[in-house]
Structure 1
């Protein structure tokens, strides 16, 4: 876990068969937490929440590809937390079972999202906002925690890479526009939590990402 100001609890770790990065964000005062992209291993996620003394209230998704949701249904069942997604990814959410079948991954049933995320919407715990950053999928979201200079980019931006656009709903022009017009306008000192692989620094990507430069 990377150190952040004491006013925020953050831990990121890989889960599931595709090692999707799952992130816990907790308010140390209320002890309420959100989980971003629980792509599997619900018992591990629950254990980390318990370690921090957090109560899960919201499960949010950067997008609706199967590897980012595999523990969502069980987490909701076990904790009562609400599920959140951008509405533009509803068709992908409704095809999660088909996605799993195509990749040979066991499907765990997951209910429909409780509510749809909106652009610039304040997240639970009041510590961040949702940014609509389409391209990898039509409803791809990033989550920005300005006070803590933390950006959860999902599969939109990677360390020296960008998200694929050859999967369901991908759009190359849209992802470039999202990165340039939404992400690269944030604080360049921000830590970027990617959907897979290591964290990066936003300013480094602005200058050195071979696919999209500021």
Structure 2
């Protein structure tokens, strides 16, 4: 008798907020639990897209703490009760949300402090995802790897043909280069990469074609 293959994850990625950050909903098709990665605005849209697929949000997870990646976090936590996750080294950015918003001319909405601090190689609350500490764009930048589905959520660490800027608070080129080469480029080359802004790419395409960090 052949083994029945488990259905793949539900994945819905779409731009949100004034800076068009890519928000991603990752859902378990069996339990119907989901996580929201980088809720950067448009809380009602995020909630409706999760609900339209019968999913319940159980965690709000952040690749890093620049304002465009968590503008809807407070409102979503209020509406769903889902806890907020972030790497500890980006707490200084989280605490400076009002200053960040002022600098970029974005309306400030108070956000509560994170409930949990993410650690490298930590299992995510559902969907068999693993947190990877990939600093460089910010000190606490994280990527999230879903190995069974060959899916990477890279935040602003890696883009199609480019990398995240390193001239913002706590950014460092040598650090992001190391993160990309030693952590991301060692993943399956067929893996789809959901970037923080713009279109998806693959690990293999970036290893061979990224002109900033070559594999």
2:99 matches 1:98: yes
Measure the CA separation in 2 of the matches of 1:94 and 1:6: 39
Equivalent residue of 2:76, what SS? helix
Indicate the residue corresponding to 1:176 in structure 2: 177
1:183 Cα offset (Å): 0.2
2:58 matches 1:53: no
Equivalent residue of 2:13, what SS? strand
71-80 vs 122-131, greater mean Cα deviation: 122-131
Measure the CA separation in 2 of the matches of 1:106 and 1:112: 18
Q: Structure 2 unaligned runs (5+)?
A: 1-5
Measure the CA separation in 2 of the matches of 1:7 and 1:194: 20
Indicate the residue corresponding to 1:88 in structure 2: 89
Measure the CA separation in 1 of the matches of 2:89 and 2:108: 22
TM-score scaled by length of structure 1: 0.97
Equivalent residue of 1:125, what SS? coil
Indicate the residue corresponding to 2:19 in structure 1: 18
Aligned length: 210
4+ residue runs over 4 A deviation: none
Give per-residue Cα distances to partners, 1:27-62, cap 9 Å, x unaligned: 111111100000000010011011110010000000
Measure the CA separation in 2 of the matches of 1:179 and 1:173: 10
How big is the alpha-carbon RMSD for the aligned residues of Structure 1 and Structure 2? 0.8
1:7 Cα offset (Å): 2.6
1:6 Cα offset (Å): 3.0
Indicate the residue corresponding to 1:212 in structure 2: 213
Indicate the residue corresponding to 2:137 in structure 1: 136
Q: Structure 1 unaligned runs (5+)?
A: none
Measure the CA separation in 2 of the matches of 1:116 and 1:6: 30
Mapping of 1:1-214 within 5 angstroms? 6-214=7-215
